[in-house]
Amino acid sequence: MNQRPKLPGWPKLSDWNVLGLLPAHLIMLMTLIIPVGIIALVSFSTRGPYGGFDYVFTTAPYKQILFNEGWSGELEFNPQYLIVVARTVILSLATTIICLALSFPVAYFISLQKTSAKMLLIYLVTLPFWVSMIVRVYSWIIILGNDGVIAKALRALGINENMGSLLFTDTAMLIGLVYSYIPLMILPVFASIEKLDPALVEASHDLYGSRLTTLRRVILPLCRPGMAAGAILVFVPCLGAVLEPVLLGGGKTMMMGNLIQLQFGAARNWPLGAAISIVLMCAVMVFLLWRGVQAMRKEGREASA
């Protein structure tokens, strides 16, 4: 094993001013560690008859994720929750990929503008964040619904006289997810394109690299960090999406967020809800760790090169 790669900007322990950082540690403790601890505690507790929980240790909630009593009363493997998990991961991945594909040209276009136009465009990208998430997702109901903006436009143009509603489909849900999270992708990708040295692109052309080769061998690799950051920023909140499946997907199929909500609500099974939350959190953590290890390896390679 070679030496552990040093993370950039990571202070040494001896530099830490314990008192100075105390507020930050307290906030971390109060808002992150204790709540997660409570969720973990609940996930190992026994459910109360009408919701709530009792502090009696059990691993039943975790077993319940995989095994359920069948309709004839015997305990059997039941993939129902795994299906929801798989759907969540697939939809989140699809959202991330679509966001990436759309963001790159947008960010590149923005980076080519004059400074003033650039500022304006970046401001416009962040503009939706000024409005509540619920309102933004709701507006898609008006756009996609029966007699919505799209249906009306198509009818006016005589293209499609009698199209069904676009609302309450998986496509609608995906549109909502992409729309909600795409600014989080555009901004880091834009930042990395901004840092791109035009001389390198010119050099590639000088060396008879075609446009495609330049994109593939020069631009994309140099923008990797921004794209990776954007992918994390989009993928992770997507895993916990609740609004889009309910409002645009019509609540017909659950994502993990809805499943957790159901457990705390109608199902009155808090420990199971907490257990699913923990599984979701672990999934996110594994993903981030994997990214982190990759980044560290890369740093290590660059450092030793």
Partner 1 sequence: MSVKTRFSTLAAAGAFSLLASASAWAEGSLSIYAWADSIAPDAVAKFEKETGIKVTVDAFSSNEDLLTKLQAGSSGYDIVTPSQHFVKIMIDSGLLEDIGASSMPAFQQILPEWQKQWWDPTGDYSVPLAYGNAGFTVNRNLYKGPVDSWKVYFEPSEELKGKIASLAQPDEVIPAAQNYLGIPYCSEDPKEMKRVLDLLQAQKPFVAAYSSDNIENRIGGGEVAMHFWWDGNTMRVRRNDKANVEYAMPKEGLVGWLDSYVVPKGAANLENAKKFINFMAEQENATIEYNYYGHSSPVKVDASKALYNKENAPELFPTAPVKMSQACSPAAQELVTKVWTQLLQ
According to CB under 8 A, which residues from 230 to 249 bind partner 1? 242-243, 246-247
SS (H, E, C) 35-81: HHHHHHHHHCCEECECECEECCCCCHHHHHHHEEECCCCCEEECCHH
| Nearest approach, Cβ of residue 61 and partner 1 (Å) | 14
| Nearest approach, Cβ of residue 60 and partner 1 (Å) | 13
Non-local CB neighbours of 64 within 8 Å, separated by 6+ positions: 272, 275
Q: With binding defined as CB under 8 A, does residue 175 bind partner 1? A: no
Scanning 21-29, 227-235, 262-270, 278-286 for contacts with partner 1 by CB under 8 A, the matching segment is 262-270
| Nearest approach, Cβ of residue 270 and partner 1 (Å) | 8
C-alpha–C-alpha distance, residues 299 and 292, integer Å = 10
What character string, x for contact with partner 1 (CB under 8 A) and - otherwise, covers 28-47?
A: --------------------
In the set 216, 252, 297, 301, which binds partner 1 (CB under 8 A)? 252
In the set 20, 23, 49, 198, which binds partner 1 (CB under 8 A)? 49
Contact (Cβ atoms closer than 8 angstroms) between residue 245 and residue 168: no
Q: With binding defined as CB under 8 A, does residue 73 bind partner 1? A: yes
Residues, the chain: 305
According to CB under 8 A, which residues from 83 to 122 bind partner 1? 83-84
C-alpha–C-alpha distance, residues 237 and 239, integer Å = 5
The one-letter code for the residue type at 58 is T
Which sign, positive or negative, has the C-alpha torsion 166, 146, 180, 38? negative
Which sign, positive or negative, has the C-alpha torsion 179, 184, 185, 189? positive
C-alpha–C-alpha distance, residues 223 and 229, integer Å = 10
Q: With binding defined as CB under 8 A, does residue 164 bind partner 1? A: yes
| Nearest approach, Cβ of residue 218 and partner 1 (Å) | 44
C-alpha–C-alpha distance, residues 106 and 111, integer Å = 9
Scanning 4-12, 18-26, 112-120, 267-275 for contacts with partner 1 by CB under 8 A, the matching segment is 267-275
Q: With binding defined as CB under 8 A, does residue 167 bind partner 1? A: yes
Non-local CB neighbours of 68 within 8 Å, separated by 6+ positions: 75, 76, 78, 80
Choose between 107 and 247: whose C-beta lies nearer to partner 1.
Answer: 247
| Nearest approach, Cβ of residue 127 and partner 1 (Å) | 19
Residue 228 dihedral angles phi and psi, to the nearest 5°:
-65, -45
Q: With binding defined as CB under 8 A, does residue 261 bind partner 1? A: yes
By the criterion CB under 8 A, which residues form the site for partner 1?
48-52, 68, 71-73, 80-81, 83-84, 132, 134-135, 138, 141-142, 145-147, 164-165, 167-168, 242-243, 246-247, 250-254, 258-262, 264-269
